[in-house]
Amino acid sequence: MTDEEFRASVRAWLTTELSGEFAGLAGKGGPGREHELVAERLAWERRLGEGGWIGLGWPVADGGRGLPWRQQVIFHEEYARSGAPGRIGHVGEQLLGPTLLMFGTALQKARFLPGILAGTSMWCQGYSEPDAGSDLASLRTRAVLDDGEWRITGQKVWTSLAQFADWCFVLARTDLLAERHRGLSCLLVPMRQEGVTIRPIVQLTGTSEFNEVFFDDARACAGDVVGSPGDGWRVALGTLGIERGVSTFGQQLGFQRQFEDVLAVARTRGLLADPDIAARITDAWIGLQVMRFTAEASFGQAAASVAGGAGVAPGVEASIVKLVWAPWHQRLGELAVDVMGADATTAGPDYELSDEQRLFLFSRADTIYGGSNEVQRNVIAERGLGLPRG
């Protein structure tokens, strides 16, 4: 199938599905709005699975479609263009699934990938802790192997969508005598068990998609460790490379829609004649093109690693991508409230926010989550340029 034929098939499927049972989901969900229509969006995940639209780049042998990266890009383009809802299952598809393809055993793939592909198994990521955010090597969550089970104790924070997740892939310290990144393991932990407590964190947007997760002697099977015990640092680097590389492409297509919305407001309010606003809009458009080219280069490399299941840890490209998009998105949020003028200073009843206000408030976290900008610069300096640790 040619790229244009594939694009037509994606567009036709989305048009049909979003005009029927799921018509009310258009534009729902996503950053700052994950509380919207959760049950309906979980049903949408299952419909995506039925249609074969999950795991497009995964190897055919592992249940995916083995599509080239360019057609994966086309799907994300059409998905964003259609106004389809924010994904609840993206952590499983874009993070845990690729991690298992790179580092998992045949048994783990056979056990966990089908649920992700079917849109029936939801995942969250348990990496960051109160004292170990961007510096994961200092994490304190512990896991001890006892009578065929890992017993896990500790706390995770900023865990996206944990309240909807069936499973969490948890980075824990399994060798208590080792220092820093040595002795870490990546464990696959069921969320619906005694010993797991989830506390939503109320954000500036008034919503709660991030959570605190407490593990109090929670259990995971001995075989549910990705890679070998003590190999968690290498696995974590692979996951973070996917998080800041492949999965950001769909995110950046959402940025395009946000830019277009801001441009429309500026045009409606007659602000395009304002030289400052016009210059900032021009800069934002240029930034979009830079992000696209940067993401395409990184996306192709990351997709090849996943498709090949090579277990290759990423280089510094993913950190460069993060440094490009995070400050750009914050500047777009600032531009959004500036074009609103005084209207940006008031909220509706029950703290109802406009899209522009939500964009501004949520984007404050962009340069922190997923690895702060300061840490990304250190990664580039040390791993990319070979500079000594500061």
Q: Give whole-number Cα distances, 245 to 146, 226, 293, 306, 316, in Å.
A: 37, 21, 12, 12, 10
What is the greatest pairwise CA distance in the chain?
Answer: 71
For 278-293, letters b (16+ CB in 10 Å) and e give: eebbeebeebbeebbe
Structure-block tokens of residue 240: 């973070």
Catalytic residue among 34, 45, 129, 243: 243
Query: Which among 26, 44, 30, 29 is positioned nearest to 83, based on CA atoms?
Result: 26
Structure-block tokens of residue 47: 């419909």
A 10 A CB-CB count for 37 gives: 17
CB 320 within 8 A of CB 301: no
Query: Which among 215, 139, 230 is positioned nearest to 184, based on CA atoms?
Result: 230
SS3 155: strand
What span, in angstroms and rounded, lies between the C-alpha atoms of 211 and 164? 11
The size of the chain, in residues, is 390
- Say whether 17 is catalytic: no
User: Any idea which residues carry the catalytic annotation?
Assistant: 243
